[in-house]
Structure 1
Amino acid sequence: MSSPLADRLRPKTIDEVVGQTHLLGENASLRRIIESGNIPNLIFYGPSGVGKTTVARIIASQTNKRLHKLNGTNASLADIKAIVGELDTIVGYNGILLYLDEIQYLNKKQQQSLLEYIEDGRITLIASTTENPYFYIYNAILSRSTVFEFKSVPWEEVEKAVTRGFAAISGELGFTIELEDGVSSHIAKSCGGDVRKSLNTVELLCISAQRREDDTRYVSMELARELSQKSSMKYDRDGDEHYDIVSAFQKSMRGSDPDAAIHYLARLLEAGDLASACRRLMVCACEDVGLAYPMIIPIVKAAVDAALQVGLPEARLCLADAVILVATSPKSNTAHDAINAAMEDIQKGNSGPIPRCLQNKHYDGEDNQNKGQFYKYPHEYPNRWVEQQYLPDALKNRVYYTPGDNKMEQAAAEYWKKIKGK
């Protein structure tokens, strides 16, 4: 039992792999490629513990190529050059299969050093990564490879591996392991689709299980909950999972779904990411509710201030109030569209001199034949409004803001139509 249980039970054939039926099921694309024996350059992308390394090893064992394994976390350019150096020797006669785990950790120069050899087929690359390959892998490598996305394994499939794990340890140690009802399914559901994590939990439970007088072991639900707590929370503040969760959080509020919004808030807070929850909540209040309910901005700001002041776990209460309020409020992005349109004009150089009536002028030079600022002070006119030009000449007819169809903006629009006599 020197190696971890997940390694001891690693599948040896495609049929033993749990999950990934979209890739490895009957007539699935990756399975057909593997069975053909003609292996192209492959990149496996997906979360940890879902079978990427296992499938790569199965492919490697079915080829006649010289197999090399490298891990991007510690591989150097010298390691890659050593592999390339074998190509013209007898050991590399049939070509080399390079299994490169965590390829995203290789820098651009290291990845580029493989290009010539994977293009002409002397090196067949099978790489795996937990990060989005289109962001982290050099484009020239991507263009010479086929990307397959591995997904989190459904808990029903994980439970099969959990059952097999308990049976394997029972056989290795020579004693019976009795499980309280629901233990296997609880482990499967709490691992977040990570088979490796579920088997690590199985091994830990067997080590710490209650020993009975007849030398059997008993695994209770209480022990299972204790040792698998929070294991379903997949979260990396610098990785795809972080951006997926915060994106789903804001889009759920924007889409007026309070249940989904609260769910994603809970995931952020369970990971301790109070800052991201507060930031996205404030952004959504301004961007997506906006002028349909302007008072939501100070209300949400107050809730965020309270959350940051009390901290977790109590902060969840302040934020839950604000999230549900944002999700159930009327929506308007008219201010968002207006500022974006104005910024676009500025970035394109569409501006021009500020109208003289708005300039900060205190005196005119002797050479100015038309002295005076000519600014009309609105408070001196009926209804505190007077018509005058505020935009530069080049943009004087430009319209950035169009009132939304919500009650608040329509009321404001009707008021100004009346005042302006339109």
Structure 2
Amino acid sequence: MDSGGHQPGFSFEPEPPPADAPLAARMRPRALDEIVGQAAAIGPGSMLRQLLARGRLPSVILWGPPGCGKTTIAQVLARSVDAEFVPVSAVASGVAELRRVLETAARARRHGLRTVLFIDEIHRFNKAQQDVILPAVEDGTIILIGATTENPSFEVIAPLLSRTRVIRLRQLAEGDIAALVERALADPMRGLGRLELSIDAAARDALVGASGGDARAALTVLEIAADLALADGRRRVEPHDVEAAVQDRRALHDRAGDAHYDTISAFIKSVRGSDPHAALYWLARLIEAGEDPLFIVRRMVILAAEDVGLADPQALVLAVACQQAVHFVGMPEGQLAMAECAVYLALAPKSNSTYAALGRAAAAARETSHLPVPLHLRNAVTGLMAGFGHGAGYRYAHDEPGHIARGQLHLPEALAGSEYYLPGELGFEAELVARWRALQQPAAGDPPAARPSNQEGRAARED
């Protein structure tokens, strides 16, 4: 545990970072009003502001993307209620350390002092760790502030989640990042103001765009770009300075996190929405982030069956071929097959008729699993079974006109007339449906439908 060298249990004012600390650390806001881009969460009139005005701070979980201000907000909140700020890392802190923190907090509470336990990356806490802090949160021994980039409803145990308030923080907008850059350039004490630097408009735009809404990343790039300009004897940051400072900034993507699911969701919905441009963009995002290519292709195979379906049965063939190609040639060449498949699926006519039909049939099957198979549909494997009426009256479709046994009941009798497949009208499915409907029309000379009555069935069994 790192309590900054202060006596545990006593409130403190954190020391300002040294002059040689990174710019992002020096420019960290010290009051709520200095924090940009989170007005809904901590601005005037927000729930937190109203409670802080009364000297109260509930346990909260700050949920938002990297660089949106989670740690800063936690520190400012603790300072606002004059509480000890005790940070722990979910990666490095075990159960024993947590117990020591809670014991210290309990002693401080007996002296009327409050402790804010800040858990960074709380989504990495296992159930045992979360169980340890639960009683202390419940009885008020600590005020818990957790920070996470992942959906807390999936990562935080329900009892702990029910005792906290989830505060959703948004990714900083471009205007927010631009304001932070200008503030850092102007601030002579904590920022770069003493250097009398300026930044070219194009350079600022490039820096803001490269930051991806991450304030820490923006200030880090600004600091490096400023050093490059000064090294070249200039007081103005140019676009090439920013380009050199950014280098290869990898996409935000965690295979086990929300970014993983959000990005694949955007890809699938773009393909389903018949937008080949967006489909290629999200596909490229997934590939650039290092996503498992077979995972992407697996999703395209599912989509081909679920969303394209009978409107273009060739889509499923192509998707499976794409999977084989990626598996056979590997990456990066496999991405060409993936791009072809993604565009094809996006442009293909869409039908989810079989997906929806299966859902309706499955619901009916669950409710009517007690219904017997009609006797004429059963196999008469033995003479005894034939004697009980199995297969009696069955009409072989290939002996019928058009190879269809018109009127023959293929459902349990109680479900006669039920319809689960509601056809689509696009692409190849329209041709299939037209043929199917034509074949449903009675033809001259057709034999009557074979529908053994209950009496016939009983008589057969009695024999």
Task: Name the TM tier (shorter chain).
Answer: 0.7 to 0.9
Q: Residues 355 and 266 (structure 1 numbering): CA distance in 2 closer, same or farther, change over 3 Å? A: same
Q: Which of 173, 178, 195 pairs up with 1:159? A: 178
Q: CA deviation at 1:101?
A: 1.9
Q: Which residue of 2 aligns with 1:100?
A: 119
Q: Which residue of 2 aligns with 1:81?
A: 99
Superposed counterparts of 1:11-26, under 5 Å: 11-26=29-44
Superposed counterparts of 1:162-177, under 5 Å: 162-166=181-185, 177=197
Q: Which residue of 2 aligns with 1:124?
A: 143
Q: CA deviation at 1:89?
A: 3.1
Q: Deviations over 1:162-191 (max 9, x none)?
A: 334455699779756564542222111112
1:109 to 2:128 alignment: yes
Looking at structure 1, the residues matched to 49 and 208 of structure 2 have their Cα atoms a distance apart, in angstroms, of 25
Looking at structure 1, the residues matched to 240 and 331 of structure 2 have their Cα atoms a distance apart, in angstroms, of 25
1:138 to 2:157 alignment: yes
Q: Residues 248 and 372 (structure 1 numbering): CA distance in 2 closer, same or farther, change over 3 Å? A: closer
Higher alpha-carbon Rg = 2
Normalised to the residue count of structure 1, the TM-score between the two structures is 0.86
The question of whether the paired residues in 2 share the 8 Å contact of 1:350 and 1:395 is answered with no
Q: CA deviation at 1:335?
A: 0.4
The question of whether the paired residues in 1 share the 8 Å contact of 2:349 and 2:427 is answered with no
Q: Deviations over 1:204-252 (max 9, x none)?
A: 334555723xx44665423422442553721111101111111122122
Unaligned stretches of 5+ residues in structure 2: 1-18, 443-463
Q: Secondary structure at 1:324's aligned position in 2?
A: helix
Q: Which of 423, 429, 435 pairs up with 1:403? A: 423
Q: Which residue of 2 aligns with 1:58?
A: 76
Q: Residues 371 and 20 (structure 1 numbering): CA distance in 2 closer, same or farther, change over 3 Å? A: closer
1:298 to 2:279 alignment: no
Of stretches 362-371 and 262-271 in structure 1, the one that deviates more from structure 2 is 362-371
Looking at structure 1, the residues matched to 244 and 419 of structure 2 have their Cα atoms a distance apart, in angstroms, of 60
Q: Residues 189 and 389 (structure 1 numbering): CA distance in 2 closer, same or farther, change over 3 Å? A: same
Q: Residues 307 and 222 (structure 1 numbering): CA distance in 2 closer, same or farther, change over 3 Å? A: farther
Q: Which residue of 2 aligns with 1:331?
A: 350
Looking at structure 1, the residues matched to 270 and 223 of structure 2 have their Cα atoms a distance apart, in angstroms, of 38
Unaligned stretches of 5+ residues in structure 1: none
Q: Which residue of 1 aligns with 2:268?
A: 250
Code of the aligned partner of 1:114? I
Q: CA deviation at 1:102?
A: 1.8
Superposed counterparts of 1:289-368, under 5 Å: 289-306=308-325, 309=328, 311-347=330-366, 350=369, 354-355=373-374, 358=377, 361-365=380-384, 368=387
Q: Which residue of 1 aligns with 2:436?
A: 416
Identity score, percent? 33
Q: CA deviation at 1:357?
A: 5.1
1:239 to 2:253 alignment: no
Looking at structure 2, the residues matched to 275 and 377 of structure 1 have their Cα atoms a distance apart, in angstroms, of 43
Q: CA deviation at 1:153?
A: 0.3
Q: CA deviation at 1:103?
A: 1.7
Q: Secondary structure at 1:97's aligned position in 2?
A: strand
Q: Which residue of 1 aligns with 2:225?
A: 205
Code of the aligned partner of 2:57? I
Looking at structure 2, the residues matched to 322 and 66 of structure 1 have their Cα atoms a distance apart, in angstroms, of 56
Q: Residues 370 and 319 (structure 1 numbering): CA distance in 2 closer, same or farther, change over 3 Å? A: closer
Q: Residues 158 and 343 (structure 1 numbering): CA distance in 2 closer, same or farther, change over 3 Å? A: same
**Cα-Cα RMSD:** 3.2
Q: CA deviation at 1:287?
A: 0.8
Code of the aligned partner of 2:425? D
Normalised to the residue count of structure 2, the TM-score between the two structures is 0.79
Code of the aligned partner of 1:141? L
Of stretches 342-351 and 109-118 in structure 1, the one that deviates more from structure 2 is 342-351
Of stretches 266-275 and 284-293 in structure 1, the one that deviates more from structure 2 is 266-275
Q: CA deviation at 1:326?
A: 2.5
Q: Secondary structure at 1:264's aligned position in 2?
A: helix
Code of the aligned partner of 2:440? K
Looking at structure 2, the residues matched to 82 and 164 of structure 1 have their Cα atoms a distance apart, in angstroms, of 40
Q: Which residue of 2 aligns with 1:188?
A: 208
Code of the aligned partner of 2:360? A
Code of the aligned partner of 2:66? S
Q: Which of 287, 305, 315 pairs up with 1:269? A: 287
Looking at structure 1, the residues matched to 391 and 439 of structure 2 have their Cα atoms a distance apart, in angstroms, of 28
Q: Which residue of 2 aligns with 1:383?
A: 402
Q: Which residue of 1 aligns with 2:46?
A: 28
